Amino acid sequence: MLNWTRRQWLANTGAGFGLFALRGMMGADAARAAENGVPLASAASISGANVPHYAAKAKAVIFLFMYGGPSHIDLFDPKPTLEKYAGKPIPTFRPEDAFMAGKTKNAAMPSPYAFKKYGSAGIDISEKYPEVAKLADELAVIRSMHCESNNHGPALFQMQSGSRFAGRPAMGSWVTYGLGTENANLPSFVVLMDHQGAPVNGAMNWSNGFMPANYQGVPFRSGATPIAYLNPPAGVSDQQQRARLDLLSKWNEKHLAENPGESALAARIASYELAYHMQSHAAEAVDLSKESAATQSLYGIDNKVSQHFGRNCLLARRLVERGVRYVQLYSGGNEGPKAWDAHDDLKKNHDLHCAETDVPIAGLLRDLKSRGMLDSTLVIWGGEFGRTPTAEAGKGRDHHARAFSVWLAGGGVKGGVVHGVTDDFGYNVVENGVSVPDLHATALHLLGLDHKRLTYPFMGRNFRLTDVSGDVVKQVLA
């Protein structure tokens, strides 16, 4: 039993929530190990687990998350049969699958977009992604994804933590736990949000869950100053800042010795130290003015429509280049049409969001490849689910969890392949289905981690990102 005073109890159950902004800065073990000359450390390795488990193909992940549910049948999985059934019922429709049951009708809606074949394998890609399409030979398109919820909140949780319910660690937390950090001056797990706001669930999407507080993702702001309060106060020298931090650390270490079970306090100590190092090093990492005009144009930063997402894609490359393990990068913020949530007008919604993301994504892949970084960086594109082949309110598409598309590139992925098949309407998976645990198992495998052996003990059970299922999708591995 914990022997807490009344003050301690209140701090941990009430005011303790105010520490969350500090908790996720970086793994405390990794920070201390880096300062002691050990380049990699994590809770897993320190506790005796043999990680990484085998030779890794990738050392970092950039997850391009199209929040809201991009339509697979309008982007990467064409269904010409919908033309024949336009306005008519489709035989695979199930009323219980509709999220907006009052507005979604069993009436087939053909795609407003044309498709062409790209790359040596002739992969069908929509006209709305012309620049991404030119890189088809780098992509492994999975057309047979499926998940367990057609509601944004649970589906976001599952895609990012493996569970539909809040409280599990995000994939970025698992990667940091398993591999540690390569840079003691930057967080290992960084979140780049859309300029229009956070997705549904907010910070719970990058939560550390039941892991120590120092494995939480660190959100950077959109715009020209991704990190707030990076510069020290006016009139405070580096020596004064160091002295203040040393004194604060001394007090915190004393308190930690008296309260050894408080992971939040250990994370706070590490976060203060990281903040000090970031004042010296992070400003350079997030300063996009260091990039040439040609590079910024490659990412679409010179275009009003694509500049926001383009800045984040370029920032993601700079962070990974400097040792950040996992970057969770969102397209779409808030709710409704500001996200890929095309209930009312599919064409209007996807016209906008494809224009925002096409050039930046292609620029990211080209830039990574030109720098020799694509082979060691796993890029994932996808959302929390797909859209229905039937119409909602005439011009929109509803949420659809039974079948959707994602793609992978770089980091040991076999490019120029398509995996999985959906039915003639894009409604059900009919061949080589890929679950969310399968996707997570594959990503961990490419990072050199066995998803069955990467476990964390909690409440008497060894938890893992993939829970009790998941198989590596070997067909997309190089």
Residue range 328-383, pLDDT digits in tens? 999 999 888 899 999 999 999 999 999 999 999 999 999 999 999 999 999 999 99
Q: Report the helix count and the strand count for the chain, using DSSP H and E.
A: 14, 18
Residue 242 included in any domain = yes
Range in 2-16, 315-329, 373-387, 401-415 with the lowest mean pLDDT = 2-16
* CB count in 10 Å sphere of residue 465: 28
Query: Is residue 460 domain-resident?
Result: yes
Residue 182 and residue 37 in one domain: yes
For residue 236, name the pLDDT band (cuts at 50, 70, 90). low
Please tell me whether residues 171 and 34 are part of one structural domain. yes
Q: Which domain covers residue 85, as residue numbers?
A: 79-114
Inside any domain, residue 241:
yes
Region 313-325: mean pLDDT is: 97
Is residue 155, in this structure, part of any structural domain at all?
no
Q: Verify that 173 and 48 share a domain, yes or no.
A: yes
Count of Cβ atoms closer than 10 Å to residue 432 Cβ: 15
Comparison of pLDDT for 283 and 95, the residue scoring more: 95
pLDDT, tens digit (0-9, with 9 covering 90-100), for 284-301: 889 999 999 999 999 999
Residue 299 lies in a domain: yes
Same-domain status, 244 and 298 = yes
pLDDT at 14: 43
- Average pLDDT of the segment spanning 307-335: 96
Q: 409 near 92, Cβ under 8 Å?
A: no
Confidence of residue 276 (pLDDT cuts 50, 70, 90): low
- Predicted pLDDT at 270: 66
252 — pLDDT class (breaks 50, 70, 90): confident
Say whether both 47 and 183 belong to one domain.
yes
The pLDDT of 65-78, averaged and rounded, is 98
- The verdict on 27 and 105 lying in the same domain is no
* Mean model confidence pLDDT for the chain: 87
Residue 172 lies in a domain: yes
Q: Residue 266 is which amino acid?
A: A
Q: Assess whether 222 and 262 both reside in one domain.
A: yes
Residues 90 and 27 in one domain: no
| Element of type H or E holding 296 | helix 293-298
**Do both 90 and 24 map to the same domain?**
no
Which pLDDT belongs to residue 233? Answer: 66
Closest to 187 (Cα-Cα) out of 49, 328, 304:
328
CA distances from 170 to 190, 258, 382 (A): 12, 30, 16
Query: Among residues of the chain, what percentage have pLDDT more than 70?
Result: 82
If one counts the domains in the chain, the total is 2
Least-confidence region, from 41-50, 115-124, 393-402: 41-50
Separation of alpha carbons 328 and 15, rounded Å: 28
Contact 392, 398 (CB under 8 A): yes
pTM: 0.85
Q: In the listed set 94, 114, 134, which residue is the last one of a domain according to the structure?
A: 114
Residue 351's pLDDT is what?
Answer: 98
Give the integer Cα–Cα distance in Å for 468 and 163: 11
Classify residue 270 as left (phi > 0), alpha (psi -120 to 50) or beta.
alpha
Residue 256 in any domain: the answer is: yes
Q: Does residue 457 fall inside a structural domain?
A: yes
Predicted local distance difference test score (pLDDT) of residue 118? 98
For residues 106 and 177, state if they share a domain.
no
Q: What is the mean pLDDT of residues 108-122?
A: 97
Q: What is the pLDDT of residues 21-38, one digit of tens each?
A: 333 333 333 333 333 333
> Which residues lie below 8 Å from residue 238, measured CB to CB, with a gap of 6+?
232, 280
pLDDT attached to residue 178? 94
Model confidence pLDDT, tens digit, residues 432-464: 999 999 999 999 999 999 999 999 999 999 999
Whether the predicted pLDDT of 228 surpasses 90: no
Q: Per-residue pLDDT for 474 more than 80? A: yes
Q: Are residues 25 and 89 in the same domain?
A: no
Pair (253, 222) in one structural domain: yes
